[in-house]
Structure 1
Amino acid sequence: MLQWLNKLSLGRGQEDWFVDALNKDFRQLEFLALDLELTSLDPQEGDILSIGYVPIIEGFICPGEGRHCLISEHSGVGDSAIIHGIRDCDTDGGHTMEDALSRLDQARQGKVLLLHHAGLDLAFLAKHQSEYSKLLAADTMQIEFQRRTRQGQPVANSLRLNQCRDRYNLPAYKAHNALTDALATAELFLAQMSYMGGQDAISLAEIIRLSR
Structure 2
Amino acid sequence: MFQWMRSISSRFGGLDSTNPQHQSFMRQLQKDVKAEQPLQKSLSSLNVTVLDLETSGFNADAGDKILSMGAIKIKHNRLVRDDAFYTLVHEPEAVSPEVSEVTGLTAEELEADGQSISEALEQFYQFAQADILVAHHASHERKFLQKYTYRTMGTNLQHRLLDTSFVFSIAAPDFEFRSLDDCCNYYDIPIKGRHNALGDAIMAAELWTRSIQTVQELGYETLQDVYAHLSHRRR
The count of corresponding residues between Structure 1 and Structure 2 is 196
Alpha-carbon shift at residue 69 of structure 1 (Å): 0.3
Distance change >3 Å, CA 207–CA 102, structure 1 → 2: farther
Q: Please list the CA deviations of residues 50-70 of structure 1 after superposition, one character each: whole Å capped at 9, or x if unmatched.
A: 000000012221111101100
TM-score of the two chains, using structure 1 as the length reference = 0.82
Distance change >3 Å, CA 86–CA 170, structure 1 → 2: same
- Computing the radius of gyration over CA atoms, which structure comes out larger, 1 or 2? 2
Alpha-carbon shift at residue 135 of structure 1 (Å): 3.9
Distance change >3 Å, CA 109–CA 210, structure 1 → 2: farther
Distance 1:108 1:176 in 2: 21
Alpha-carbon shift at residue 174 of structure 1 (Å): 3.4
Alpha-carbon shift at residue 210 of structure 1 (Å): 6.4
The answer to whether the 8 A contact 1:116-1:161 is kept is yes
SS in 2 for 1:54: strand
Q: Please list the CA deviations of residues 10-44 of structure 1 after superposition, one character each: whole Å capped at 9, or x if unmatched.
A: 71243232x2x211112222100000001111222
Of residues 215, 221, 231, the one that matches 1:196 is 215
Report what 2:178 is aligned to. Answer: 159
Gaps of 5+ in 1: 1-9
The answer to whether the 8 A contact 1:35-1:182 is kept is yes
Gaps of 5+ in 2: 1-28
Distance 2:179 2:192 in 1: 13
Report what 1:110 is aligned to. Answer: 130
Report what 2:163 is aligned to. Answer: 139
The answer to whether the 8 A contact 1:47-1:75 is kept is no
The answer to whether 1:26 aligns with 2:43 is: yes
Distance 2:70 2:156 in 1: 16
The answer to whether 1:36 aligns with 2:53 is: yes
How large is the Cα RMSD of the aligned pairs?
Answer: 2.3
The answer to whether 1:60 aligns with 2:84 is: no
Between the aligned residues of both structures, percent identity stands at: 23
SS in 2 for 1:195: helix
Alignment of 1:114-129 (within 5 A): 114-129=134-149
Report what 1:6 is aligned to. Answer: none
